[in-house]
Amino acid sequence: MPTYLLYLSGVLLLALPSGPLIRRYLKTLTLSDVADRPGARLGWVHLLNAFDLARGFAGATLILAAFASIHPAAPRQLPARAVLVIAATAGLLIQHGLHKTKEETMHAPFAYLAGLTLAILPLKVALFALPIGTLSAIGMRHIGWGFIMTAVSAGAFGLLFKQNYLTLATACFLLIVPVLLSRLVNRSLVLAVRPGAAKVETSGYGRLREV
């Protein structure tokens, strides 16, 4: 595939919001609510998250492949990382804007960020960082702390395995973006779950109310 097609495909995948494409009716719950409701514990398993995971991974992989086709060392250099950060951050902002939640909440794009993390970091680092972040979020019942602990773990294991500093900084920054954004607009991060995970009445994409 030509370099420009790899590049454009990657950027579009990262920036394209998944919600309107799938058009699923979703309910948002805090992590504490999910933990306290047995029927909601697997509610996060749905097509939206599967697509977010795939597009995060594929988009970052295509962008890095485009730079690698120019020079083998290019994916580890600043231009490639800058493009990744800009495209992925734009995707996060667009996704936050289009996911309809209550005014005091914000959708937590954990699947999208997991895909990015798997694509950006070496597998041996990502496979340590993601489970630690997940367990931290569950233990603390706070999605934001899950993102923070994933970033901290990625940085720590990346340094332990002597990985490229710019690669680590890229992944850690993207993991922290939702936390910073939620603080900036004073909203809580919530999970998008299937309507069947809680007793709800649907009234349109992202507009659900409890019965």
pLDDT at 107 over 70: yes
Residue 38 maps to a domain = yes
In 10 A of CB 162, how many CB atoms?
7
Residue 43 maps to a domain = yes
| pLDDT mean across residues, the chain | 82
Residue 12 maps to a domain = yes
Residue 60 maps to a domain = yes
Residue 190 maps to a domain = yes
List, in order, residues 6 or more apart from 209 with CB less than 8 Å away.
200, 201, 203
Cβ atoms of 191 and 143 closer than 8 Å: yes
Residue 94 maps to a domain = yes
DSSP code of residue 76:
G
Which tokens in the block code for residue 188?
Answer: 């809580």
Query: What is the C-alpha to C-alpha distance for residues 27 and 208, in angstroms, rounded to an integer?
Result: 6
pLDDT at residue number 34: 77
The whole model's pTM is what?
A: 0.85
Bridge partners, residue 193, by sequence? 27
Spell out the alpha helix ranges (H) of 16-142: 19-22, 31-36, 47-70, 78-98, 110-120, 123-140
Strand 27-29, strand 200-202: pairing: unpaired
pLDDT at residue number 103: 63
Query: What is the C-alpha to C-alpha distance for residues 39 and 32, in angstroms, rounded to an integer?
Result: 13
Query: What is the C-alpha to C-alpha distance for residues 78 and 122, in angstroms, rounded to an integer?
Result: 17
127: domain range?
3-194
DSSP code of residue 204:
S
pLDDT at residue number 178: 92
Q: What is the pLDDT of residues 13-59, one digit of tens each?
A: 998 876 665 445 567 777 877 777 766 667 777 778 888 899 999 99
| Total domains in the fold of the chain | 1
